[in-house]
Amino acid sequence: TWGNSSSPGTLPLTLTTPSYKSSSEMLSIWDTAGQERFRSVTHAYYRDAQALLLLYDITNKASFDNIRAWLTEIHEYAQRDVVIMLLGNKADMSSERVIRSEDGETLAREYGVPFLETSAKTGMNVELAFLAIAKELKYRAGQSADEPSFQIRDYVESQKKRSSCCSFM
Ligand SMILES: Nc1nc2c(ncn2[C@@H]2O[C@H](COP(=O)(O)OP(=O)(O)OP(=O)(O)O)[C@@H](O)[C@H]2O)c(=O)[nH]1
């Protein structure tokens, strides 16, 4: 969702070129296709990933229902200690919402992963999602002496903005 989608027939992913100076501060971000037809090849692209952002569309029930299948696949193909975050995107489209925030929260709790609702349109919680992942990876690498007991779920809960019908975000 956050890169340029590849056109049909090309590789199902986008690499966002990083602009950081040192490789220890660099995140390489790959946008793999969520479409069913790429399912059989996508795992090759996330097999070595340190973190996975799993997105569904809050206006599309099928995308939410697909998350369980993705989590099952991830357990099979991804690194055992991969950081996973569940994101309910298009939070700006409240009038077309079909998946309640609570449903996302419940699913995330079931799998023990942090959860945020985001909007690629307004930017709501987008930076936070990447920042939380980066902090977690840094913490695991033992580089965050200033945060001796970083908990990604607590961090996300304390920082996240909630979508609302009546306030702009
Ligand atoms: N209103 C709104 N539209 C969005 C948001 N995110 C994506 N879109 C729109 O949804 C459509 C699909 O976005 P994509 O980024 O292609 O979705 P995708 O899930 O990456 O699609 P695949 O690469 O095919 O898996 C585009 O028209 C986007 O502009 C959002 O947060 N809010």
CATH number at residue 150: 3.40.50.300
Could you tell me the distance, in angstroms and rounded to a whole number, from the CA of residue 110 to the centre of ligand 1?
A: 26
The answer on pLDDT for 5 being more than 60 is no
Per the CB < 8 A criterion, the answer to whether 53 and 20 are in contact is no
What is the per-residue pLDDT across 42-76, written as a single tens digit (0 to 9) for each?
788 888 999 999 999 999 999 999 999 999 989 89
pTM score of the predicted model: 0.84
- Indicate whether residue 34 lines ligand 1 (CB < 6 A): yes
Range of the domain at 34: 2-166
What is the per-residue pLDDT across 69-82, written as a single tens digit (0 to 9) for each?
999 989 899 999 99
- Tally the domains of the chain: 1
Task: Output the CA angle 60-39-123, nearest 5 degrees.
Answer: 45
Could you tell me the distance, in angstroms and rounded to a whole number, from the CA of residue 11 to the centre of ligand 1?
A: 18
- Indicate whether residue 93 lines ligand 1 (CB < 6 A): yes
Per the CB < 8 A criterion, the answer to whether 136 and 51 are in contact is yes
**pLDDT value of residue 2:** 44
